[in-house]
Amino acid sequence: MMHAIVARQPGGPEVLELAETGRPAPGPGQLLVRVAAAGVNFIDTYKRSGVYKVHYPFTPGAEAAGTVEEVGEGVTGFAPGDRVATAEGIDCYAGYALVDEDKALPVPDGLDDFTAAALPLQGMTAHYLINSTFKVEAGHTVLLHAGAGGVGLLLIQLLKAKGAQVITTVSTQEKEQLAREAGADHVLRYEGFPARVRELTDGTGADVVYDGVGKDTFDGSLESLRIRGTLVLFGGASGPVPPFNPQRLNAGGSLYLTRPTMAHYLRDATERRWRSGEVFAAAADGSLKVRIGARYPLAEAAKAHDDLEQRRTTGKVLLVP
């Protein structure tokens, strides 16, 4: 038996309940992983609330790190005792979770279990956003929202390592401090940010905007771009962006708009190993700092969701079974 978080219907954080369930058995090509920590991500809240459809009873969680307990038929690359992490695990808010072998990432020795659980989803996201969705180069001016969040703090550091100028938005003084420590050149509040970005770029605008806030920032993000700039809308922490008239891209300066999702940038094991390998190596050698802003016992998953949705968290949020 094991403990797992279960929701029986969509709703607020209170639908997340601790339950005792059977331990899953690994099918062909799968690993059974003893979860040391599971990552909490904004997408888990979209699935819990019903913004994204799921089947019930529903156990959230795609991200975890831990130790291989058992392997299914045909698994060749992992054995019991190996340390692994994943951004694409099955029902990870639990004591044990299944991971398909090709979605399991080996954890280097220099990385502890909590850091390994904190990095896969937000780390590989930050990696694909700046290397593949839009290729950031030295000298680019980048605006990114929610700079003290999980994706945000990683993005700031990876962008600075590329030599970009980084402007970010945050809502509080504490978050401003964290964004500055991560290396942001300019930290703004949301109020009036497009005008501030114009000022900071001598009227030109940003080369690219990374917007995971969505509804509340979308219009301002478009206004902050230079001619032929790119808006990368990668989430909707404030809610989904309403329908959009493409004519606005013309008026804004022949702009580009894309709405990427992680699965399309992790097409196979090679792409996963490339992205996770670079991010894990940077964390292991200390060049990428991973802030774990909060850790909750598994039983407090509802509180973790509430804190994330109410903007009370910074960096990564973890659940410990």
Query: Distance from first CA to last CA of the chain, Å, rounded?
Result: 13
Cα-based angle 52, 67, 48 (whole degrees, multiple of 5): 15
User: Rule CB under 6 A: is residue 149 a binding residue for ligand NDP?
Assistant: yes
CB of 84 to ligand NDP, least distance (A): 20
User: Rule CB under 6 A: is residue 291 a binding residue for ligand NDP?
Assistant: no
Contact 77, 273 (CB under 8 A): no
From 27-35, 36-44, 274-282, 297-305, span contacting ligand NDP (CB under 6 A): 36-44
Contact 169, 185 (CB under 8 A): no
Interface size with ligand NDP, residues (CB under 6 A)? 30
User: Rule CB under 6 A: is residue 131 a binding residue for ligand NDP?
Assistant: no
User: Rule CB under 6 A: is residue 123 a binding residue for ligand NDP?
Assistant: no
Site string for ligand NDP, 38-77 (x = CB under 6 A): ---xxx----------------------------------
CB of 278 to ligand NDP, least distance (A): 17
Contacts of 13 (CB under 8 A, 6+ apart): 48, 301, 302, 303, 305, 306, 309
Contacts of 268 (CB under 8 A, 6+ apart): 102
Which residue of 69, 102, 216, 271 would you call a contact of ligand NDP, by CB under 6 A? 216
Contacts of 43 (CB under 8 A, 6+ apart): 52, 62
From 37-45, 78-86, 103-111, 277-285, span contacting ligand NDP (CB under 6 A): 37-45
CB of 100 to ligand NDP, least distance (A): 19
Which residue of 24, 89, 120, 152 would you call a contact of ligand NDP, by CB under 6 A? 152
CB of 68 to ligand NDP, least distance (A): 25
User: Rule CB under 6 A: is residue 213 a binding residue for ligand NDP?
Assistant: yes
CB of 47 to ligand NDP, least distance (A): 11
- Look at the alpha carbons of 64, 66, 71, 77 in this order and tell me if their dihedral is positive or negative: positive
Using CA atoms, how far apart are residues 197 and 186, in angstroms rounded to an integer? 9
Read off the tokens for 319.
């659940």
User: Rule CB under 6 A: is residue 24 a binding residue for ligand NDP?
Assistant: no
CB of 168 to ligand NDP, least distance (A): 9
Using CA atoms, how far apart are residues 32 and 50, in angstroms rounded to an integer? 28
Residues 220-279 binding ligand NDP (CB under 6 A) are 234-238, 260-262
Residues 301-320 binding ligand NDP (CB under 6 A) are 308-309, 311, 313
Q: Which residues of the chain form contacts with ligand NDP (CB under 6 A)?
A: 41-43, 121-122, 125, 146, 148-152, 170-171, 175, 212-213, 216, 234-238, 260-262, 308-309, 311, 313
